[in-house]
Amino acid sequence: GNISFMVDHIIAGRVLGSQALAAMSMVNPVFFLFTTIGTLICVGSSTKASVRLGSENKQAANELFTISALLLLLIGTVITVSGMLLMNPISMLLSEGSELRAMVYEYCRGLIPGAVCIMAVYLPLQYFRIEGKAHLGMILFLLMAGLDIGLDLLFTLVLRWGMFGLALATTVSSLAAVAVMFPFLLNREEGFRFVPVCHAGRLVREIAV
């Protein structure tokens, strides 16, 4: 994950120039917001699910798995809709009204719609871990990093999509990695599954704690 993040910045600087690198740095807080929310939700829920599994209560673990997926979807959708509606003021705020505002806007235009995708990466990552399948989490991140680097080069060097292309590569690679690896999490015999959730409010509080 860190290698992918570093290569993104190298490509921005080498292909699009120093201003692109500066613009990416200005938008980094948005990316870190997505990864932080995803991590907090999924670490919180997987920790509680691990306790439930230790008590041989698979139903409760599945409820936590379900509610965490719903939280990611809900919060990610709210962020995306709000971000798209407020794209102009957000880009103005991040760029401090500098000449980099157009680049910041383009990067946000590709990154903000991917909020759910970026956050969702941490759901299989954490639940693979408590299943004792951490190697699948490693494969998830390797797949995401490889796709991100490849798409960065395609979108910037071949298609000439600039800052939008760099951000779109992050979104698409996250979505693709989750789509490929998520079925391994839903293995019928050992994996998790989506179930009706009782006492959703209590579960959300447990996750938050």
Residue-wise pLDDT tens digits, 159-209 = 999 999 999 999 999 999 999 999 999 876 778 999 999 889 999 999 999
Angle at 144 between CA 68 and CA 38, to 5 degrees: 25
Residue whose pair of structure tokens reads 């995803």 in the numeric block: 38
Contact 165, 110 (CB under 8 A): yes
**Structure confidence by residue, pLDDT tens digits, 79-123:** 999 999 999 999 999 999 889 999 999 999 999 999 999 999 999
The pLDDT assigned to 2 comes to 76
Spatial CB neighbours of 45, under 8 Å, sequence gap ≥ 6: 64, 65, 67, 68, 71, 126, 203, 207
Using the 8-state DSSP alphabet, how is residue 4 labeled?
Answer: H
Q: Which of 148, 140, 150, 141 is nearest to 183 (CA)?
A: 140
- CA 41/CA 37 separation, integer angstroms: 6
